Amino acid sequence: MNQVQVHSLFTDFDIDLFKAGKHFRLYEKMGAHLTEVNGVKGVYFAVWAPSARSVSVVGDFNYWIQGEHQLNVRWDASGIWEGFIPGVEKGTTYKYKIQSNNNGIITEKADPFALYCEHPPQTASIIWDLDYKWKDKKWMDTRKDKNGLDKPFSVYEVHLGSWRRNNEGKFLTYLELADQLVDYVKETGFTHVEFMPIMEYPYDPSWGYQLVGYFAPTSRFGKPQDFMVLVDKLHQAGIGVILDWVPSHFPDDAHGLGFFDGSNLYEHPDRRKGYHPDWKSLVFNYGRNEVRSFLISNAIFWLHQYHADGLRVDAVASMLYLDYSRKDGEWEPNIYGGRENLDTISFLKDFNEAVYADFPDTQTIAEESTSFPMVSRPTFIGGLGFGMKWMMGWMHDTLQYFKKEPIYRRFHQNDLTFSMTYAFTENFMLPLSHDEVVYGKQSILGRMTGDEWQKFANLRLLYGYMFTHPGANLLFMGAEFGQSSEWNFEGSLDWHLLQFGYHDGIKKCITDLNALYKNNPALYEKQFHVDGFEWINYSDSENAVLSYIRKGNNEKENLIIVANFTPVVRDNYRIGIPTKGKLTQIFNSDSTEYGGSGVVMTKPIKIDKTPWNYKEFSAELVLPPLGVTVYKIS
């Protein structure tokens, strides 16, 4: 006997939007909602399963018996099954038992819109609400002043399960992280944190990039409201929150989105478009309107309900190209004969337009590793509409350069200067991310060449060069104190290393670089514009020295940067200066405080009326070994 009452949260307009791929608040209708109907408390359920013959809600409340609570299919051919079940309470576990029209196949699925999930390896959804009293109004009212492209973006990338463990080796909870992580990020001076995926995922070694609960923070670390506390406290500390978002693929776990109603509902039915050979996972059907509504609603959900300040979109290149990781014969060209996935391009434009329409004070960031054009340009001029794009070319070339012995670096100056030939074609974020410290690549410190002193000097030089290069910055956790081993997601960072001077010095160096970046508008006001950068000398490959100017809106605040990529002290090194006055050194990566040799110019340096480097004036400097120095003109 069916104990489900006819009830709906959908209007005809909702259905029209859903079918058109334009309903971006589906989470307000779909899923399980605690509500009251005719004075009776219970839960309204709604699930999309157009190929279903019947859909039952099974769970704690009915001993998981199929058929006890069958939902009603809507009359409008939307494929939505819905109904109200009295007496079901918050905290109840449940799934959908779906009998398909396709040969009677029966699937048992978690709710795609579940707000909370059981702790893996358990797979049920949990009835929950998102009631929470936020305390971050000051941040939310003013974050447009923190998230603009002309503002500092120094991002600390975090994997919550391995940032730090407790004394028993177990995960820290969201609430524990709300104290420890917030204090640490504030101390080191990062402007934003980026969380690797916190949406529910079944398999720890995926690091969260294989999602099954797109609307649920993982229960590994606590309840949904506990995650809200973490975001809230970061905001109260003046720190923005970026979430990794994975619309590129999803796993084929039995309780997940794959083959949901006995058909290829969320995934593309053509394996050439619907299966990812690298990750052995399923790929969304970006041409299906209802799937577009699902994905864009999910993006909006995290910005709306969890106050996220940005979304970093994972694996965009894999979405854009039909031949990505596929051999000849394993992919089909688009209607114009090209390799671009036209459905994906359309979807990404819709996604970015929807985000910026509702949340203009946030940012979307693409992890896109190819030269696909105009990723971070507005859709109205033909771009994909992202706010920023990861600068993978800079990352690759720079790390390759720093692996080389200094004696050979004069032959590879182009590895460093090449980035400036395309630096302003996109709004680039410079990433030294988790992908660079796994699978035998070594830690960032481990990539540096030389003896112990030189390795740490090179690392400080790398960071100084990174923070003064045009663009925003991202650093994976552990790199800020010179983690010496590769990242291990099953343990904690090696915090004990901070007892050693060189590692503590790296942390102090990063802290000061964050302060330098935030306190000097020349480093961020025009970080994505060609007017914000000028070479002084890029051709001194013999000495492996680069010198350049970073510019903001006020030319009196411009900075001079000189980087020496060899362990040789350069005395009486002359560089051109565009104006008269004096130079004052405001940062030196060779400071003894950081573990350097202490070749520091503490007194103001006279600027001579001696033309040099095609500049009217010049000054003689002492360049520290494997060091970067930053100067102000006064």
- Catalytic residue numbers read 314, 367
Distance CA 470, CA 632 (A): 17
Please give the single-letter amino acid code of residue 423: A
The C-alpha atoms of residue 116 and residue 609 are separated, in whole angstroms, by: 68
Collapsing DSSP to helix, strand or coil, 340 comes out as: strand
**Residue count of the chain:** 634
User: Can you tell me which residue has the tokens 């309470």?
Assistant: 89
Q: Which residues contact 445 (CB under 8 A, 6 or more apart)?
A: 455, 456, 459, 479, 482, 483, 484, 506
- Element of type H or E holding 189: none
CA angle 225, 227, 231 (to 5 degrees): 115
CA 158 to each of CA 193, 253, 503, 614: distance values in angstroms, whole numbers, following the listed order: 7, 26, 19, 44
Q: Which residues contact 408 (CB under 8 A, 6 or more apart)?
A: none
388-390 vs 363-366, strand pairing mode: parallel
Element (DSSP H or E) covering residue 84: strand 80-86
Tell me the C-alpha distance between 10 and 74, whole Å: 10
CA-based nearest residue to 388, from 398, 396, 377: 377
Q: Which residues of 64-99 are buried (b: 16+ CB within 10 A; e: fewer)?
A: bebebbbbbbeeeebbbbbbbbeebeeebbbbbbbb
Contacts of 602 (CB under 8 A, 6+ apart): 585
**3-state DSSP assignment of residue 475:** strand
For residues 402 and 455, what is the distance between their CA atoms, to the nearest angstrom?
Answer: 10
Residue type, 438: V
DSSP run (H or E) holding 39 = none
Contacts made by residues 165-169, CB under 8 angstroms, sequence distance 24+: 165/491, 165/492, 169/491, 169/492
Rounded Cα distance between 65 and 70, Å, is: 11
Q: Which two tokens stand for residue 270?
A: 């053509």
| Rounded CA separation 270/274 (Å) | 6
Q: Could you give phi then psi for residue 493, rounded to 5 degrees?
A: -60, 160
Half-sphere exposure of 456 (CA within 13 A, CB side): 25
* 530: its two tokens: 């060609």
172 and 226 in contact (C-beta within 8 Å)? no
Q: Is omega for the bond preceding 121 within 30 degrees of 0, making it cis?
A: yes
> What's the CA angle centered on 563, arms 512 and 487, to 5 degrees?
60
Question: Beta partners for 86?
Answer: 42
- Identify the helix (H) or strand (E) that includes residue 287: none
Q: List the structure tokens of 584.
A: 């004052």
